[in-house]
């Protein structure tokens, strides 16, 4: 650990984090847990990523890794000891020299609607249609836009999805100012910021599958720092890690980046009789305009042992193969590399 043994109680561990209020809240949560398991104080080191300073839409700047690369560089250069990421922002390719030491228990996976007058999606669109106008919904995610537009087409609703960027305050501010009628955000982020009370409605995964890894955090450190990696591993939640492994395996096999219109969710269900529990993986790929959505699922028994990660990857790859055979690659457009 950059010359500082884990047992040195005097030296604080340096946790690299993005500067946003949400990133700081998430990192603060992890910092407290790391202090609990190591006995070491943890200091937050704020790092600006390219995704934080660019004003372009995520789809235009590549999406994959734009919130992660600067943190990983700081790890490899020894400027920080470990980093906390939103797992949905992590590229699927494993970086050389770094390890995903822990995936803590997942928060709420759902997307959330924050709307004018606190109305739900159907109520909002019906009210505005009665006033003779369309419903303007802001989101920076092609995945959300695809599923919102598909919902609107299925329900005969007039919805216009508007690309937005910015922190939670900025996005919710579009609704407060009347510039937009609603925005869609991850429920997990609002919960972690103590702002769950501002959610108008949670969007059921049946309507909108989340991003692969949504609601989960990733704690990363260098592979050479085996003592720290072992300590951080005590924060790992095996059912969450296995579920997000399946989701990310699907994303990787589709060769899609985190800004592609791809949703995935793995959930645990009781097995039959005395059999092991089953992991069900749902995946969706669509066009951003919502004209076409391809949605499939796969499931299988899965034992939480040393082979669980491989089993989860196999499930993700199998579902991706079915989606690709059904034409998923043409729906995503040019694949993100």
- As annotated, the active-site residues are 89
Mark 176-212 as b/e (b = at least 16 C-beta within 10 Å).
eeeebbbbbbbbbbbbbbebeebbbbbbebeebbbbb
Q: 230, exposed or middle or buried, with CB in 10 Å at 0-12, 13-18, 19+?
A: exposed
Structure tokens of 145? 């836009």
Which of these, 309, 159, 287, lies nearest to 236 by C-alpha position?
A: 309
H-type helices in the chain, by residue range?
A: 21-38, 50-53, 58-61, 69-76, 121-130, 142-155, 168-176, 187-192, 226-233, 238-253, 308-325, 328-332
Pairing mode, if any, of strands 262-269 and 217-222? unpaired
From CA 248, how far away is CA 104, in angstroms rounded? Answer: 16
From CA 312, how far away is CA 103, in angstroms rounded? Answer: 15
From CA 180, how far away is CA 183, in angstroms rounded? Answer: 7
Indicate left, alpha or beta for 70 from its phi (over 0: left) and psi (-120 to 50: alpha). alpha
Neighbouring residues of 33: CB distance < 8 A, sequence distance ≥ 6: 104, 235
Alpha carbon distances (Å) from 107 to 138, 221, 223, 237: 23, 22, 27, 12
Which of these, 212, 272, 271, lies nearest to 243 by C-alpha position?
A: 212
């Amino acid at each position: 650990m950059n010359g500082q043994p884990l047992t040195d109680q005097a030296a604080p561990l340096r946790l690299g984090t993005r500067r946003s209020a949400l990133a700081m809240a998430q990192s603060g949560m992890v910092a407290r847990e790391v202090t609990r398991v190591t006995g070491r104080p943890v200091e937050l080191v704020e790092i600006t990523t390219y995704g934080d300073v660019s004003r372009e839409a995520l789809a235009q700047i590549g999406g994959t890794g734009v919130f992660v690369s600067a943190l990983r560089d700081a790890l490899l250069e020894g400027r920080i000891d470990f980093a906390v990421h939103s797992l949905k922002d992590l590229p699927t390719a494993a970086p050389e020299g770094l390890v995903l030491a822990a995936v803590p228990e997942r928060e709420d996976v759902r997307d959330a609607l924050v709307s004018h007058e606190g109305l739900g999606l159907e109520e909002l669109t019906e009210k505005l249609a009665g006033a003779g106008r369309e419903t303007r919904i802001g989101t920076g995610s092609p995945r959300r836009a695809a599923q919102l537009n598909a919902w609107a087409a299925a329900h005969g609703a007039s919805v216009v999805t508007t690309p937005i960027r910015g922190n939670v305050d900025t996005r919710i501010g579009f609704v407060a100012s009347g510039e937009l009628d609603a925005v869609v955000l991850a429920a997990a982020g609002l919960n972690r910021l103590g702002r769950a009370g501002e959610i108008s409605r949670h969007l059921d995964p049946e309507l909108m599958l989340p991003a692969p890894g949504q609601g989960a955090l990733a704690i990363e450190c260098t592979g050479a720092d085996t003592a720290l990696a072992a300590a951080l591993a005590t924060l790992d939640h095996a059912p969450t890690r296995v579920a997000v492994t399946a989701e990310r395996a699907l994303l990787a096999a589709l060769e899609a980046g985190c800004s592609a219109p791809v949703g995935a969710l793995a959930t645990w269900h009781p097995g039959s009789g005395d059999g092991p529990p089953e992991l069900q993986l749902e995946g969706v790929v669509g066009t951003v305009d919502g004209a076409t959505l391809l949605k499939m699922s796969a499931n299988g028994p899965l034992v939480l042992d040393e082979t669980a990660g491989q089993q989860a990857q196999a499930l993700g790859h199998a579902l991706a193969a079915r989606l690709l055979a059904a034409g998923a690659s043409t729906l995503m457009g040019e694949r993100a590399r």
